[in-house]
Each structure stands twice: as C-alpha cells, then as structure tokens.
Structure 1
Amino acid sequence: KNMTVVEIGGDLAIVDAGVMFPEDDMPGVDLVIPDTTYLVENASRVKGIFLTHGHEDHIGGVPYVLRQLNVPVYGTKLTLALLRVKLIEHGLERSTDLREIKAGDRTQIGNIDVEFIHVNHSIADVVALAFHTAFGAIVYCSDFKFDQTPYDGKVADLYAFANLGKQGVLCLLSDSTNAERPGYTASEKKVGETFRHIFSNAEGRILVATFASNVHRIQQIFDAAAREGRHVSVTGRSMIRVVEVATELGYLDVPEGILVDLDKLDKLPREKSVIITTGSQGEPMSALSRMAMAEHNRISISPGDTVIISASPIPGNEKAVGRIINQLFKEGAKVVYEPHLGVHTSGHAQQEELKLLLNLCKPRYFIPIHGEHRMLLKHAELAEATGISKENIVIGEIGLPVEFTAEGVHIRERVVSGQVFVDGLGVGDVGNIVLRDRRQLSTDGILIVVVTMSRKTGKVVAGPDVVSRGFVYVRESEALMDEAREKAKEALDTCLAQSNTDWGALKGAVRDSLNRYLWEKTKRRPMILPIIMEI
C-alpha cells in the first residue's frame, strides 16, 4: 500500500496510493489501504496525486483516496488507462481529473515542481519523480531497474539522473526490494529467448501463467506463439482486461488472426494452442488454480500439456504456489517453474544498479524505501559504500515526517497514519477488535448461551440453552454440553440469589464460569456469547 507525501512550501503532493492484500491474520478483509486522515485534515493543501506506474500496490488505493480528496491525478498513458478501469468500477471516472504526462515532462502546480524520468520495470510506462526545491531535487525512484536491452528499446534515462546529480540532489528515495541480491537484474529479453526455446520444443498445448500487468512479458508470449504458428487465448479477468487496454493503446502488438476466443480453442489442435492465464501466485480462485483442481468450466489440464510459471512467488505465497505446481504434475503436465531456467526475471534493481543510481544522483541525504526492514538496512549499507555519510541516511517509519531545512535533516512529530481495512462495501469499519473476534472464531469457535427471563419476577423461565458452532461436534459431546448448561445455570442462580439482576453482571458471570470450565475440560477458549431474552 505504497503512499508517500512530499510537502514543498506548504503544498502537498501525494506519490502513489496502493493497496495491500490481507495477511493470514486478517480474516474476511479484502484489501488494506493507507490511512489518509492527515491528508483529509489538510485537504486544501493537497495539489495532486502523482503516479509512478500501474501496479496494484501503487494505484489500487486511488479510488478510495479520491472519495475524500477531489484532486487531479497525474500519470503516464498506460498507468491512467489501468486506473480508469478501477474508477469506472467505483463510479468515479466522470468526476476525476486525469492528467496524462510522459517521461521527460515537467509540471508545476502551486509550489510543487515535478519532473518525470523514464525507468524500466516489469510494466510499461514507468517513471521516477524529481521534485525540484530551493535546496535541490528530491528524487523518488520506486520500483525500477536499469535494463540495457529492454523489450521496447526504451532504456532508463540515465542522463536525466546524472544531470540532476550535477545540479544537486537533496535527497534520493530508492527501491530496496532487491537490495540483498548482488549483481544486476537480468534483462526482460532473456525471458523471451527462453520462451522461444520452450515453445519450439513443446509437443502439446502450452499454458503460461504470469502477472497480468507485465505487458512486455505478454508480448513476448505472443511473439513466441506466432513464430511457432500457434494461436493464443487469454483467460483470467485481470489478464483479459490488461490485454484489451494495452492492445487498444498500442503497447501490445498482436499479430493478425493469432488471438482466438477461449470458446474456439477446443477446435484447434492442442499442439497449435497457447493459453495465457492468471494465477502465478497460487490464488485459490485464479484461472490456473481452477484448471489444476479440475474446476475450470472450459479448460482442463491433460498429459502432454506444458505449463510455464513465469513469476517468482511473492513472500508468503510459496505454499500456495507449491500446491498448484504439485497438482499440475499430478494431472500429467510438464511444469516449468524453476527461476534458473530463465522463465522469469525481476522488475527490481539489484545491488550494482542501486549503487549506479546513487553514484549518478550523488544525493546529500538518502532514504531507502519499498522493502522489508532488513532490505532497507542493506540498502543503507550500499549507500554508505558509495560515500554517503551514515548520519545522512534516514530509515523512515510510516507516519514519521522527515524534514529538510537549511540547517539539515529533522524528524518531526508523528502524524496519523497506518492501515485501513476494506471489507466488502465497508471501508474502515473493521478494526483490531473485530479482527480479534474473527481470529478467535476461526481458531476455537463460538458457544452461545440463550436464557429467557421474566420481566415481572426477574427469574429464569426457560434455558439456559447452549448452541455450539466450530467448537465441538455436539452429537459426540453431549456430556460436555450438558455440564456447560449446568455451569451456566449455577452462575445465574448465584447472581439471582444475591438479587443481582443486572444483565451485564449476569452475562459476565455466565461467561467467566464457562470460560473456566471449558478451559479445564478442553484447553480451548471459544467465544462465549450469552443472550438474555425478556418476556
């Protein structure tokens, strides 16, 4: 959920607004977006949203931000096209001011003077940003690599970075994703060479799973298929959408007659067909997962199929990806997934490229970004190796402002920040307490105690009845349920004998009594929910 705010002369510029997908301890949560409380409180000072590229973790949160801040959005052609699809889904397309820019442009709005610089990544139309200030430029370079042989022939604009370094860079913020990896990131063209080799030797149908946003990867799949006289079908909602948008804008060049509807695929010889699909991260509902589990309504995996996993598992997805690969092998497919086989390359710079950017920019201060804490620390070490003083390197924290003045760098008072959960149509209505209850329900289940009391006498007229869900199988635990019912009755009788008819006290007594009993008997702590009805 990348989001950075740059303040210059009192004006605010938002850089990216992404989403994070929920972790295992966030049951029921669909998306995680940045907390924009500080921006809403300072809405009159926000001049715009500046997007670096079209990946979900950089544009996925934009519609949620625009609901609270009506500001212009700047981005390249492909980035805005992908964002427009999201805005249509949220009903915000007509009310949003989208302003297209291209690499090499320079725009000023208020005190925000920003230059856009072309860099390479695993999606087309990516830019770094240089905010020009009286003290020098603030260069923001997230998600990049220096590919010397990019598929589209557009190398990163090293001259622009060198020119900024010559003029004076106040601070560089740079991608730390691959800061632990030595050397250089392999070129995207290497993947195309691997595709050509696999396609020329495959005897049956070929299926390729990759990230939907990697337009150059998709283009190279089309190129390899055309070379071998194969037809291509596309499946997966996000994949279909990106292919349509990229083709319409000219980022994809699909040879005439090569793209066929999935419905017509069965009529083609298997050795003449290729399927491009989503699901490279083992997502349970993705097209590839449903194929592997024989749940896809149009495509089934057969012996002789070659499946290429053209992606590396994102940390945390390794088990899910491994499970899909195992199932594909069981279905008789040949699966090509090992990184050393050349079916994937990263879109992030490795150590030598990171040092090259540092040496080109020659920043006075350095802030490593976009990575886990250990990656930030490793990137800081690389910066020191290039000659940046340790005192001039800042490891930032979410919500902790870093201020540059004529006197130096200062860490200011923390502002409201963090994460907001999106669950269905609800935004922010699920917090830590709700998540705690959901986690408890998912681990130990729930026990509901229902009691009916008389309004006139204050005595129990029915119950307590005990209902269990996700705790024990009632038919096999009747003795436990009967004893639990007795414990609840005893707790109620004790309170009523003391003339304590407060519902809160009654519920608390039942809850405490059952908590102790069930822990002694089962070593489990289900959620206990007493319900009192009055007649």
Structure 2
Amino acid sequence: MADAKLQIIPLGGLGEFGMNCLAIRYKDDIIVIDAGLMFPESELLGVDIVVPDITYLVENREHVRGIVLTHGHEDHIGGLPWILSELNVPVYGTEFTLAYVEGKLEEHKLLDDTELIEIAPGSKFSLGPFTIEPIRVTHSLVDCVALAIDTPVGVIVHTGDFKIDLSPPDSKAFDLHKFAEYGQRGVLALLQDSTNVDRPGYTPSEWSVKPRLDELFSRTKKKLFFSCFSSSIYRIRIAIDLAHTHGRKVAIVGRSMVESSEIAQDLGYLEVPPGIIIHPGQIADYDPEEVMILISGTQGEPMSALSRAAVDNHKHARILPGDTVVLSSRVIPGNEKSIFRVIDHLYRRDAHVIFDDGASGLIHVSGHASQEEQRLMINLLRPKFFIPVHGDYRHLKKHAEMAQNMGVVDLALVIENGDVLELDQDDARKTGKITAGRVCIDSGSTADVVEDLVIRDRRHLSEDGFVLPILTINKLSGKVERLPEIVSRGFVGADQELMEAARNVVSQTLENSSDEEKADYGVIKEKIRIDLKRYIQKNTSRRPLIMPVILEI
C-alpha cells in the first residue's frame, strides 16, 4: 500500500465557532485532535450544550488510537464526556489541560475508566504510524500546544488556538524556533486557527492590559469586582498582582473561578502573595477600599456569581453604590442580551461598570492570532498545502485566500465538517463526505440527547402554543360520555367562540367515525388532530400543536 493517502476529516469547528474536533486517518489508524462543545444558539430551545456527531468514530472504534488535546478551553475539551461515553480511548494533554479534564470526567463519573496521558512541549510520542511533537504556543489560557504530526506521507502541523506572545506572564514564550525548524525540514500541510482572520496587524500581549487595569485599581475608591473568564489564568495573575500592589485583599467568588485558581496554584501557574486571599465571608470585615472580589460570570450566565450579585442575590458578594465592576473579557456573539442585562442591573446599583466597549482603554486582549501573526506562521512553516480551521465559512474562505495570495503555499483548501480530504506528497483533494453534524444535549447529561424533532416541537410550541382536545370514552360501550373539552396554552385567538366551534368539529369527527375507528385510539386521535388542525388553520392562520387526549372510564 505504498500509495496509501492520509485523510483529514473535520467533525466539528469548521463552519462554526466551537465544537472543535478533527480526525486524521492513515490506513487503519485514526487519531482525534480535540473534542469540543459549543453553546447553543437561541433557536435551540432548552438545549444546554451542542457536541459533534461522532458516528464516524463510533463506526471505526477499533481504529481510533487516542484523542490529543491542544488546550483546556471548553470548545476543545467540553465534548469529551460525550465522546468517551461512546469510545474508551486514551486522552493525551498537557498537565494543566488534563487537570481541567479530570474535573469534567469526575463530574460525569468517567474518570476511573479513562486513561489520561500527560504530554509536554518538545517530548515526542507515537500513536500508530503517527509521531507527534507538541510545540509550545501562547493563547489566553496556559499550557497550550500546537501539534507537529509526522505521518507516512509527510509532516502536518495543527496550530490549535494561538497568538504569538514572546513575553507572556508565565515566561513560557511561543516557540518560534521549533516552528522554524519544521519549516526547514519541510511541512506537507498546515492547519491554522482562523478566528481573527478579520483583524489586521498583531494581537497585543497579555501584559498590554496591565497599564489600564493599574489605572483603574489606583482610582477605585470602594470595592473592586474583577471578572474575567475563569480559564484566563494570565489575567487572574495580573489582577491579583495589582490587588497586592494597591493594598487590597482578594476574595475569590464563583465555583469555576475557585476551581481554576486552585488548579493554577497547585501547578505553579499562579503565585499568590501570602495572606492576600480571604474567604468570601470575610469581605464585610474589611473597608471597601481594601478588597478586590475576583468573580466569575462575564457572559451573564443566569446562575453565575456575578449575575446573582447584580440582583442582590449573593450571600457574600454585595454590590453597593460607588463600587467598581470590571469585565475583562470579550462579548461572545450570542451572549449580548444576557451580558447587557447584567450590566443594566449593575448600573441600577449605582456601580461604575468598565467593560470592553472600545472606549474604555485596553482591558481585554484576544487569545487568537491576527493577520500578521498568521502570515508569519505561514512564512515560517512554508507548507505545501494550507487548510484553515476554527471559524465560520467566511473566516475559512478569507484565510485560504490570504494564504494563497502570499505565494508561499502550493494550494489552500477550504473544507467543512464531514469532508474527507486526502493527501499525499503531491496532491490534496476532497474525495467524499462522512456523517457529521451536531448533537444537542439537555442538562449536560451524556444520555439526554435532544432529537431534531424535539427542537422542532419546542419551536412550534413557542410560536403557536398548543391545543388539547380531551375526550372521555366509556371503556365497555365505546360511547363518548360527554362533550369534548378543549384546553389551550399559548395559543393566540383561543376565544370562547372559536373554542366552542372547535368542540363541535371534534364532535362531528366522532359522529362520522365508525365504532371500529372509535375503538382504535391511534386512529381516532389522528382523525381528530387532522380535522381540528384544518379548522384552526383556516380560521386563525395559526398552527398550534394539537395533541388529542383520550380518557377511559
């Protein structure tokens, strides 16, 4: 099989933000890079999380050698419990990433059954025919890696999420030299993060937020509430350092913030000055100007600590007039409503609110590479083939055009979830499609999968409501004992006259049905549903969900 080709098969993250998951196959060996989730759009009513459809991996379970993680953000590790409940394969990740994964698997009672294997930048390991070298990259989270994968057809590099920060707060800089080495050796294909392809120039370093935050700390007279993503360890570190400099104690509030800061301290990513951390219950023991509250909930999540504090519903974190609240994070598209609702509540409490509105100075920087950094990576690696990953279709398309126009790569290809891209030393082309898509899950359980039909029904109910015709049938004689009752909820136009007419429609349907049809509840329910639907649609132009109920007496 000298002519065997390498297959790259995205299962999520290409054509959307989040749910990053990509399979790489050579003959009978498959490795999976990342296993993310995404949070649902508003039209996915009642759905808690969305994960990739892994039908392809389940069908080829005996070939899957392992899942390799680039870093610990939810859009790269959040789908693991779902995937591992279907496939029992080892999971590879850096020390910090696996610390996050452990907590997630423990929550889903999968930790004891899963083999977690720690990897480190510069230490190669093999999975089947693949030799993988993690390479240190910088991002908004710590301990992140890109993956250089040596395959039988050539080297492919997957950047993961990255920006080029040569002086990050933990002094573990982006490893430009290692990428340059691979560029010298020759790279067959580069899969590069497209998130910020719309942004010209360079993404600023994490340190660049410090001057503006320092200014805010120095002029805040009362309590200071500081909120950022709980995984933004660099930002937490800068905030704690500034609190120490300005003589404030730090109370950490919110489960995710407490967990993240504990993991970061245990692994040495967060050095906390002795005596600075206080229990949230001690906040009231200090003068307002002596306290900073590090609080989770930047995206306005309904039950987060910040959302509860904003409506005076938190046991320890009370926001009073004159307090300052700093939201050091970006607004994730889709979360605008909930974030601005929280900001409104904060203003009602006469708090000073500082958020990333473009006018407040630099209080947040992105964790993703802008155009010049993307170009720099392409020039360093000089790949033969270029494949953009992570982003909506327009981002992938723009990124591919940018790479092609540089004149460095032979061919830039846009692929989407489910496409099968086949590569060898000379050629790269799409050769087919596999089953891919999204699986909606309620309440975070790996069991509660929400079918498309359920979401359609929920949408239907939310738009037109429902109507319940209730019939009482004598079990022995098969006769209808009384006039049908009609109950409706959320159905506009359900006036007395219409309901009366609807009862007559149901009675008429029953009269026109034979005894045999009446005895078959499935048939009679469907006849009533069709006749009532036709009548209501004709008279109101609405289509409520109609669910006939038969009571036996």
The TM-score, its normalising length taken from structure 2, stands at 0.92
Q: 1:328 aligns to what SS in structure 2?
A: helix
Q: 1:207 aligns to what SS in structure 2?
A: strand
Letter in 2 for 1:420: V
Q: Distance in 1 between matches of 2:270 and 2:426?
A: 50
Give 1:480-495 correspondences, 5 Å limit.
480-495=498-513
Q: Which residue of 2 aligns with 1:260?
A: 278
2:437 paired with 1:418: yes
Letter in 1 for 2:313: E
Q: Distance in 2 between matches of 1:135 and 1:254?
A: 48
Q: Distance in 2 between matches of 1:395 and 1:388?
A: 17
Q: Which residue of 2 aligns with 1:439?
A: 459
When the two chains are superposed, the root-mean-square deviation of aligned CA atoms in Å is 1.9
Q: Distance in 2 between matches of 1:49 and 1:517?
A: 55
Q: Distance in 2 between matches of 1:426 and 1:463?
A: 45
- Between 293-302 and 135-144, report the one with greater CA deviation: 293-302
- Between 33-42 and 497-506, report the one with greater CA deviation: 497-506
Q: Distance in 1 between matches of 2:324 and 2:311?
A: 16
Letter in 2 for 1:84: E
Q: Distance in 1 between matches of 2:29 and 2:315?
A: 53
Deviation of 1:69 after TM superposition, in Å, equals 1.9
Q: Distance in 2 between matches of 1:265 and 1:295?
A: 16
2:105 paired with 1:87: yes
Which one of the candidate residues 24, 43, 49 is aligned to 1:31? 49
C-alpha contact 2:31 2:127 (8 A) present in aligned 1: no
Deviations 1:222-270 (CA, angstroms, capped at 9, x unpaired): 0000000101111111111111111111111111111111111011111
C-alpha contact 1:278 1:286 (8 A) present in aligned 2: yes
Cα separation, partners in 2 of 1:54 and 1:325, compared to 1, 3 Å: same
Letter in 2 for 1:80: L
Which one of the candidate residues 264, 271, 275 is aligned to 1:246? 264
Which one of the candidate residues 55, 66, 76 is aligned to 2:73? 55
Q: Distance in 2 between matches of 1:319 and 1:92?
A: 35
Can you give the 5+ residue segments of structure 1 that lack an aligned partner in the other structure?
A: none
Deviation of 1:339 after TM superposition, in Å, equals 3.6
Letter in 1 for 2:436: S
Deviation of 1:428 after TM superposition, in Å, equals 6.0
Deviation of 1:293 after TM superposition, in Å, equals 2.1
Cα separation, partners in 2 of 1:461 and 1:426, compared to 1, 3 Å: farther
Deviations 1:151-183 (CA, angstroms, capped at 9, x unpaired): 112221111111111111111000000001100
Deviations 1:433-472 (CA, angstroms, capped at 9, x unpaired): 1111111122222111111223454332234111222325
Deviations 1:182-230 (CA, angstroms, capped at 9, x unpaired): 0000110011222111101111111111100010100000000000010
Deviation of 1:24 after TM superposition, in Å, equals 1.0
Q: Which residue of 2 aligns with 1:400?
A: 419
2:187 paired with 1:169: yes
C-alpha contact 1:147 1:155 (8 A) present in aligned 2: yes
Q: Which residue of 1 aligns with 2:205?
A: 187
Q: Distance in 1 between matches of 2:68 and 2:317?
A: 41
2:401 paired with 1:381: yes
Letter in 2 for 1:92: L
C-alpha contact 2:493 2:540 (8 A) present in aligned 1: no
Q: Distance in 2 between matches of 1:115 and 1:9?
A: 21
Deviation of 1:510 after TM superposition, in Å, equals 1.9
The TM-score, its normalising length taken from structure 1, stands at 0.95
Deviation of 1:494 after TM superposition, in Å, equals 2.3
Which one of the candidate residues 334, 338, 341 is aligned to 1:323? 341
Q: Which residue of 1 aligns with 2:225?
A: 207
Q: Distance in 1 between matches of 2:33 and 2:231?
A: 20
Percent identity for Structure 1 against Structure 2? 44
Q: 1:138 aligns to what SS in structure 2?
A: strand
- Between 349-358 and 400-409, report the one with greater CA deviation: 400-409
- Between 511-520 and 227-236, report the one with greater CA deviation: 511-520
Q: Which residue of 1 aligns with 2:491?
A: 471
Cα separation, partners in 2 of 1:325 and 1:452, compared to 1, 3 Å: same
C-alpha contact 1:421 1:427 (8 A) present in aligned 2: no
C-alpha contact 2:130 2:152 (8 A) present in aligned 1: no
Deviation of 1:499 after TM superposition, in Å, equals 6.8
- Between 198-207 and 421-430, report the one with greater CA deviation: 421-430
Q: Which residue of 2 aligns with 1:448?
A: 468
Cα separation, partners in 2 of 1:257 and 1:473, compared to 1, 3 Å: farther
Q: Which residue of 1 aligns with 2:290?
A: 272
Deviation of 1:421 after TM superposition, in Å, equals 1.9
Deviation of 1:150 after TM superposition, in Å, equals 1.3
Q: Which residue of 2 aligns with 1:350?
A: 370
Letter in 1 for 2:534: R
Q: Distance in 2 between matches of 1:499 and 1:325?
A: 59
Cα separation, partners in 2 of 1:266 and 1:422, compared to 1, 3 Å: same
C-alpha contact 1:459 1:496 (8 A) present in aligned 2: no
Q: Which residue of 2 aligns with 1:221?
A: 239
Which one of the candidate residues 59, 62, 69 is aligned to 2:87? 69
C-alpha contact 2:129 2:152 (8 A) present in aligned 1: no
Letter in 1 for 2:179: F
Deviation of 1:101 after TM superposition, in Å, equals 1.2
Deviation of 1:492 after TM superposition, in Å, equals 2.0
Deviation of 1:299 after TM superposition, in Å, equals 2.2
| Structure with greater contact order relative to length (CA < 8 Å, sep ≥ 6) | 2
Deviation of 1:41 after TM superposition, in Å, equals 1.8
Deviations 1:401-439 (CA, angstroms, capped at 9, x unpaired): 111024511222212221122223353642111111111
Which one of the candidate residues 431, 447, 451 is aligned to 1:427? 447
Which one of the candidate residues 139, 142, 152 is aligned to 1:121? 139
C-alpha contact 1:420 1:428 (8 A) present in aligned 2: no
C-alpha contact 1:291 1:301 (8 A) present in aligned 2: yes
Deviation of 1:9 after TM superposition, in Å, equals 4.2
Which one of the candidate residues 527, 530, 533 is aligned to 2:548? 530
Deviation of 1:277 after TM superposition, in Å, equals 1.2
2:32 paired with 1:14: yes
Q: Distance in 2 between matches of 1:455 and 1:70?
A: 51
Cα separation, partners in 2 of 1:62 and 1:426, compared to 1, 3 Å: closer
Can you give the 5+ residue segments of structure 2 that lack an aligned partner in the other structure?
A: 1-18
Letter in 1 for 2:450: V
Which one of the candidate residues 59, 81, 96 is aligned to 1:41? 59
Q: Distance in 2 between matches of 1:262 and 1:500?
A: 66
Q: Which residue of 1 aligns with 2:164?
A: 146
Q: 1:483 aligns to what SS in structure 2?
A: helix
Q: Distance in 2 between matches of 1:515 and 1:262?
A: 57
Deviation of 1:385 after TM superposition, in Å, equals 2.4
C-alpha contact 2:250 2:293 (8 A) present in aligned 1: yes
Deviations 1:349-391 (CA, angstroms, capped at 9, x unpaired): 00000000111110100110101111111111210222146x7
- Between 396-405 and 122-131, report the one with greater CA deviation: 396-405
Cα separation, partners in 2 of 1:59 and 1:499, compared to 1, 3 Å: closer
